[in-house]
Structure 1
């Protein structure tokens, strides 16, 4: 049994006994999955989170007091948020949407404003990546408006509002969102539901790419990569954004060099769909033939992740 299975199994065992006492175990498991999000292959983490969420779902069928039921609903909501994000990184937008809708419903049930805001932001990300930029903008505004506290508002300004505005080539709105993100940013917070300076810089870099400002994109992407350990998914995202910035400026040799560096450093199972999308954007230029061969040989990602009942 690996570490992920052990965490999920501890939740199942705890929930067989006193459910109220076991809520601490469930909350600790969800926090552990959030903090270790980038340390595991997405498919392996997906299975562990889903098993944990199913255990919480099964426990909710038992007679429970209101406080215990609310805690389990909230843990299940954060579990669904994780599954939505994982499904997105596994390239299954239908599953991502289903899990995020479940998370938003549970956030409404429990009144967790942080989860409400986060699910709007994640839904904006999914909408943007499928090309629904106006939908992404509406969701991004909702994410920002419902965010509790300055730091989460900073995250939603960069991750949701600026990215959606840049995709629509709305320079004024993008720069307003950038200013909000930088002004509201506080201390780094860890985990999938946290937000650090490396993430802020990456969102700014990718927005500048959409706004056809490759020099600013390069500056911010290089700064982001410098804040992340090599071989982490955030490092891959930043280095591939460096590659895309070089490509946008016509520096094709440099673009291909950085892309190959990422492929050399990562096992295919750890390469998220978002990284593959960045690679595909480079391949579509038709100017990176050696890279095209390697991208074509990448294994297919997991599919069929839609079930929200577990």
Structure 2
């Protein structure tokens, strides 16, 4: 997957921004590296360098110093070689992996390259080991086991194994806190980035789409647009209209969340061009057209697109998973589009959406919060507060998506300082 220089430069700037932001909060380099790989489509090898803020020249010189300190002749490493390794176009030999691990002060396994079993280390030196900590089992073992299995297979990881990993992430998307899932998807994608077959490229494209959606759900719009832009390009390159349409549609939603309805509608037009089934057409209309049209006050176009989306939805069958679409999500988007014009109907659609979702799930939380906003718009403040608090009572804070955080904050604005909203406001303030 070829990435342009302009995109590479943008990724480097985003990594620099992440590093500066994390340093302000006192984060150590490993935490900065984890944040970079979770947020951006960057290999672990490149992420460690960017987390330190080093140039490739600095790393090349540091590797040379490692060799000289062990009384060995400096290798022929160049910045061009390091660049190819960082971008997944080539793979360093074990000796270079060990040397780079010593430069960064980490175990070589954290650089994202499988190593030969039973290797004695770098020129007979022991492999650097991480500081021993008390053993703590993973909080979500079924989730971490997926990327662990990919890592165990190494270069032998086949396309079907990558497909199974993607299937797990898409079907279980709502079962894990967004930040936890994002870290695991990013880890799995890094392990697969050295595979260049068309099937693996498709999986990498969809994993980038997942990371874009997760970034949207963790209040990182810049990261979301980078990941989704990557996914859309992959979809176009490999001829996957579903990936292309889905990624462009998600970009439209992120853009609308930044209050840019005109740009959101332009992306909707591009996404609709690739929406080649009734379900996907209904999805793109609900995702990308209804709220921008409502924000622009174009009631005629809103009514026309709502009617068309209903027709498409009635002709389709629900498709489970993060990359599918269902009646519950459709009703949610109808509700949000109608909040400012017809709060009674908005409340009905939100109630329907919540009734179709499992209590406590992210979709349920979103629908109940929109229902609360519709109640507040009808001056039913006590009912609105009760619904808002039911979300906070049911869903753990770490599992609440940033999009629901924003809906709750909007609910407080809808309540207009109503006395009954004081406790709710305090609880919402603790979510940040």
TM-score (norm 1): 0.90
Aligned-residue offset at 1:15: 4.1
Give 1:29-40 correspondences, 5 Å limit.
29-40=165-176
The equivalent residue for 1:45 is 181
Q: Which residue of 1 is the match for residue 37 of structure 2?
A: none
Would you say 1:59 and 2:187 are equivalent positions?
no
Higher relative contact order (Cα pairs below 8 Å, separated by 6+ residues): 1
The answer to whether the 8 Å contact 2:229/2:248 transfers is no
Higher alpha-carbon Rg:
2
Deviation of 1:14 (Å):
3.0
- Which secondary structure does the structure 1 equivalent of 2:310 belong to? helix
Name the residue aligned to 2:331: 201
The residue aligned with 1:8 is 147
CA RMSD of aligned residues (A): 1.2
In the alignment, is the contact (CA less than 8 A) between 1:15 and 1:59 conserved in 2? no
Q: Quote the Cα distance in structure 2 between the aligned partners of 1:274 and 1:292.
A: 17
Give the equivalent residue in structure 1 for 2:310: 182
* Mapped pair 1:286 → 2:414: no
Give SS of 1:178's match.
helix
Alignment match, 1:64: none
Tell me which of 227, 237, 252 is aligned to 2:366. Answer: 237
* 1:169 corresponds to which of 297, 304, 325: 297
Deviation at 1:266, TM superposition (A): 0.9
Q: Residues of 2 paired with 1:142 and 1:85: CA distance? A: 18
Distance 2:390 2:428 in 1: 13
Counterpart in the other structure of 2:279: 151
Deviations 1:125-151 (A, max 9, x none): 000001111101111122122112111
Q: Does structure 2 conserve the Cα–Cα contact (< 8 Å) formed by 1:140 and 1:164?
A: no
Q: Distance in 1 between matches of 2:161 and 2:154?
A: 9
8 Å contact kept, 1:259–1:279: yes
Match of 2:161 in 1: 25
Name structure 1 gaps, 5 residues minimum: 61-68, 301-310
Tell me what 1:102 maps to: 230
Q: Residue deviations 1:8-67, cap 9 Å, x none?
A: 1122233421x5xx100101111110111111110111011111111121223xxxxxxx
Counterparts of 2:150 and 2:302, CA distance in 1: 43
Q: Distance in 2 between matches of 1:13 and 1:194?
A: 30
In 2, distance between residues paired with 1:90 and 1:280? 15
Aligned length: 287
Other-structure match for 1:307: none
Native 8 Å contact 1:34 1:192 kept in 2: yes
Whether 2:254 is the aligned partner of 1:126: answer yes
Structure 1 pair 74–230 and aligned structure 2 pair: CA distance change class (3 A): same
- 1:78 maps to what in 2? 206
The equivalent residue for 1:191 is 321
Distance 1:138 1:30 in 2: 29
Structure 2: stretches of 5+ with no match in the other structure: 1-137
TM-aligned CA deviation for residue 218 of structure 1: 0.4
Q: 1: distance between equivalents of 2:398 and 2:353? A: 23
Going by fraction, where is helix more abundant, 1 or 2? 1
Equivalent-residue separation in structure 1 for 2:171 and 2:209 (angstroms): 14
Q: Secondary structure at the match of 1:59?
A: coil
Task: Identify the residue that residue 40 of structure 2 maps to in structure 1.
Answer: none
Separation in structure 1 between the aligned mates of residue 383 and residue 290 of structure 2, nearest angstrom: 27
Give the structure-2-normalised TM-score.
0.65
Answering whether residue 395 of structure 2 is matched by residue 266 of structure 1, we say yes
In structure 2, what is the Cα distance between the partners aligned to 1:180 and 1:144?
A: 13
Contact 1:283 1:289 in 2 (8 A): no
